[in-house]
C-alpha cells in the first residue's frame, strides 16, 4: 500500500494548519461557555473544508476521502470540537446526495459554504447501538410525511438548520427504516441541549417531532434504505473521528515534548527521565499505528474497496489511545496541567465523548469479529 500523500494533500495540510493555528486554537476554551458563531462556520466554508466531498456543481470540490481526513486531523489539532462541523458535513452531504434534484440544489451548496448546518439523527432514548429497533415514525399523508418521535444525542441539535432523520416508514427491523430531511424550523419541532461533560461547542441534544409535516419528496433514497445508508456513512465517518482524536493527541504530545525539554527536576530536563520519555514514546507509537489504519480505511474508500473493518479498528483505537495520551500529558505538566489555563483537561473531556458516540468500543470489536469470522458467527447482526 502506498502511504505517501499527494502534493495537494501536503499543501492542504499546511493551509489548514495555518488557519487553525491562527484562528481556532486561541479560542478553543472560549466555546466552553459561549455559542460558536455562525460566521465562523462560514469561514470553514470559505476555507473549502466543508464541501470537500460535495460535487463541484453543488458548490463543493469533489475531493478524496484521504484529503478530507487530512483536513479533519489538522482542524482537530487546534480545536477538536470544530472537527464536528467537518464530520457532519461529510456524512450528511453523502446522504443528501441521495435526494431529489430539488433537495440537492437547495441544501448541498449551503452545506459546502457553511450557510447551512445539517444534523444526523439516528439514536433514540431507548435505542443506541441496536439502531434497527428505532421507533420514530414517518407516516404518509397524501403528498407529505408526518414525523413523530424523539431523537437523542444529536450533534448540533441546538444550532442545526435541518436534520437527516431516520424514521420507520414500514414494518419492523432494518428494512422498515427510511431517511427523511427535516428542516428544523417546521412546526412541531422542539430541541433540548444537554449539559454534557465535554464537547460543549457541538450542542449535543434531543430533537422532538410532534406530527411534523414535510413533503414526501424530502425522503432521501429509496423506501427502506435508511439503515443501509446510515451504516455506509458510519464507515468513512469513523475514520474521520479517529483522525480528529489522533490530531488532538499529537498536538498535546508536541506541547508536552517541548515542555519536557525545558522543565528540569533533580538537575536535568524531564525529557532525560525514562519515566517521562518512555511513556511519551509509547503514545507516539500507538497513535502512529492508529493514524495509519484510519488513512488506510479512507484510501480504501477512495478506491471503492470495503473498509468496514479498518474503520472499526480506527474508531476503537483512536479515542482510547488519545484519551490515555492526553491524560499522560496532563499529569506530566503537574498542577499546571490540572488547571484550565492549559488545554489538556478540556481536550480529555472532549475526546472521551467519542468513546461512546458513533459506536462504543464493544460495538467496534463486534464489527471487527463479525467481518473476521463471518456474519453467521456474529453475536449481533
Give the Å distances, CA to CA, from 35 to 43, 69, 267, 344.
16, 26, 46, 21
Task: Please state the pTM of the whole predicted model.
Answer: 0.95
Q: Examine the pLDDT at 112 and tell me if it is beyond 70.
A: yes
Triad 228, 232, 235: Cα angle to 5°: 145
Outline which parts of the chain fall under CATH 1.10.540.10. Answer: 7-116
Q: Place domain 227-377 in its CATH homologous superfamily.
A: Butyryl-CoA Dehydrogenase, subunit A, domain 3 (1.20.140.10)
Looking at residue 172, its pLDDT comes to 81
CATH number, span 7-116: 1.10.540.10
Identify the band that residue 77 occupies on the pLDDT scale cut at 50, 70 and 90: very high
pLDDT in tens, 366-377: 999 999 999 887
What are the cell numbers at 2? 502506498
Cβ neighbors of 376 (< 8 A, separation 6 or more) are: none
**Cell 464537547 sits at which residue?**
199
Residue 223: strand, helix, or coil: coil
CATH number, span 119-224: 2.40.110.10
Outline which parts of the chain fall under CATH 2.40.110.10. Answer: 119-224
pLDDT in tens, 275-302: 999 999 999 999 999 999 999 999 999 9
Burial class (CB in 10 A: 0-12, 13-18, 19+), 4: exposed
pLDDT in tens, 189-210: 999 999 999 999 999 999 999 9
| Averaged confidence pLDDT in the chain | 94
Q: Examine the pLDDT at 380 and tell me if it is beyond 70.
A: no
Amino acid at each position: 500500500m502506498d502511504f505517501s500523500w499527494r502534493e495537494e494533500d501536503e499543501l492542504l495540510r499546511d493551509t489548514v494548519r495555518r488557519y487553525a493555528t491562527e484562528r481556532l486554537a486561541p479560542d478553543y476554551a472560549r466555546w466552553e461557555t459561549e455559542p460558536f458563531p455562525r460566521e465562523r462556520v462560514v469561514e470553514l466554508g470559505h476555507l473549502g473544508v466543508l464541501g470537500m466531498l460535495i460535487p463541484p456543481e453543488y458548490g463543493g470540490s469533489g475531493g478524496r476521502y484521504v484529503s478530507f481526513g487530512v483536513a479533519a486531523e489538522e482542524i482537530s489539532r487546534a480545536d477538536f470540537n470544530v472537527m464536528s462541523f467537518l464530520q457532519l458535513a461529510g456524512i450528511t452531504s453523502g446522504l443528501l446526495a441521495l435526494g431529489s434534484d430539488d433537495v440537492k440544489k437547495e441544501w448541498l451548496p449551503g452545506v459546502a459554504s457553511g450557510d447551512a448546518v445539517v444534523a444526523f439523527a439516528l439514536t433514540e432514548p431507548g435505542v443506541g447501538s441496536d439502531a434497527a429497533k428505532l421507533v420514530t415514525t414517518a407516516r404518509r399523508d397524501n403528498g407529505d410525511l408526518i414525523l413523530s418521535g424523539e431523537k437523542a444525542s444529536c450533534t448540533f441539535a441546538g444550532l442545526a438548520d435541518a436534520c437527516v432523520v431516520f424514521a420507520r416508514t414500514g414494518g419492523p427491523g432494518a428494512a422498515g427504516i427510511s431517511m427523511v430531511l427535516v428542516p428544523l424550523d417546521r412546526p412541531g419541532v422542539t430541541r433540548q441541549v444537554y449539559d454534557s461533560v465535554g464537547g460543549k461547542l457541538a450542542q449535543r441534544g434531543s430533537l422532538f417531532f410532534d406530527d411534523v409535516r414535510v413533503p414526501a419528496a424530502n425522503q432521501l433514497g429509496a423506501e427502506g434504505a435508511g439503515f443501509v445508508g446510515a451504516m455506509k456513512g458510519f464507515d468513512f465517518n469513523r475514520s474521520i473521528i479517529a483522525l480528529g482524536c489522533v490530531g488532538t493527541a499529537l498536538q498535546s504530545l508536541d506541547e508536552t515534548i517541548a515542555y519536557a525539554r525545558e522543565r528540569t527536576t533533580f538537575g536535568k530536563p524531564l525529557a532525560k527521565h525514562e519515566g517521562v520519555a518512555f511513556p511519551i514514546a509509547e503514545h507516539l507509537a500507538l497513535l502512529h499505528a492508529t493514524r495509519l489504519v484510519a488513512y488506510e480505511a479512507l484510501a480504501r474508500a477512495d478506491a471503492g474497496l470495503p473498509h468496514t473493518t479498518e474503520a472499526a479498528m480506527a474508531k476503537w483505537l483512536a479515542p482510547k489511545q488519545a484519551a490515555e495520551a492526553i491524560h499522560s500529558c496532563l499529569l506530566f505538566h503537574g498542577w499546571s496541567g490540572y488547571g484550565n489555563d492549559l488545554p489538556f483537561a478540556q481536550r480529555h473531556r472532549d475526546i472521551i465523548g467519542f468513546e461512546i458516540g458513533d459506536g462504543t468500543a464493544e460495538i467496534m470489536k463486534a464489527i471487527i469479529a463479525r467481518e473476521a469470522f463471518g456474519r453467521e458467527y456474529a453475536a449481533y447482526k
